[in-house]
Chains A and B, each alone.
Chain A
Amino acid sequence: MGYLAKLRVWRGNKERGELVNYNVEVSEGEVLLDVIHRLQATDSPDLAVRWNCKAGKCGSCSAEINGKPSLMCMTRMNTFNEEDEVTVTPLRAFPVIKDLVTDVSFNYIKARQVPAFKGPANLKLGEYRMQQVDVERSQEFRKCIECFLCQDVCHVVRDHEENKESFAGPRFFIRLAELDMHPLDELDRKREAQESHGLGMCNITKCCTEVCPEHIKITDNAIIPMKERVVDTKYDPLVWLGKTITRRK
């Protein structure tokens, strides 16, 4: 049942690179990462590719497949026509290191800039209590495998390198949303999201949601709720008045 797939793989480094054509054997039931591994084992032992679990849970094998950010291990070869070329490139929002491997350290820098959970001062560790409905709300965001496909596809940084300084990206907006929706977290995540992490730069075009392999509703359940919370905090005079009168925080 096998066939020869026509692959176009980007080969190169920081200085130069090109799309190189290969014909690689494909067996039934295989995913693109299997085929890339076969390419490594046969024609191109020096092909650089980052991978780990092969089960869509580690987020390592992110690449752009026919121009769409995807996980190679979750892309079944039977989703392509046998006669069609399949183009595989590294993530195009991040600096390339070699072949399909990019430097994603931008994301780790941004991760460090989000302050960790801060619980109430009068409770010690082990004394935190939450109801199930409150836990469930942020459970969706905990599914994130940090593949950074959402960061890669986000045009705010993908098309504007200069925005990387001031924009954290969808992965960290779900982190901020998770913390802001946590009943015990005491930091002001709304102002932080807007003023330090560039939430206002997002124009909610939903590409992050479209590429998420965990099907997290990043835009509807994290970014838009955070934008609405920012409106409460910064832009809505009636909410401000209500909070002032009732002395709510």
Chain B
Amino acid sequence: MNSHPHAPAHEDAANTHHGHGHEAGHGSLKGYMIGFGLSVILTAVPFILVMAGTFDSKLLTAFLVMALAVAQIIVHMVYFLHMSPRSEGGWTMMALIFTLVIVGITLAGSLWVMHHLNTNMMPMSPEMMKNMP
């Protein structure tokens, strides 16, 4: 299956050049299967945790669900999107880190600010009270 390193070598100049351009872009069958196996486990476990109600503590279950989601996102990034600190001379990683910072600020900032607005400023009617989480 790993014919990749040899295959382009015998082709004409355009193809050799092309093969080189994609060196960092592709995985192997083994890589895809490892990623798939890990993804299946990391998907099945949180569904089972929630559907079977394995733990009594909702906080613990929620924490585990989010932790497994983060783990699966990393698995997808590495095995399916082929992220590595070396691809594109490190620029994809830089863009990713920048985006993660912005995403973190957006999510944490929105939740934080809106939570404070909710608790400090909102006049509560009895009906609204009833529907508070």
The answer to whether A binds B is no
Binding site for A on B (CB under 8 A): none
Binding site for B on A (CB under 8 A): none
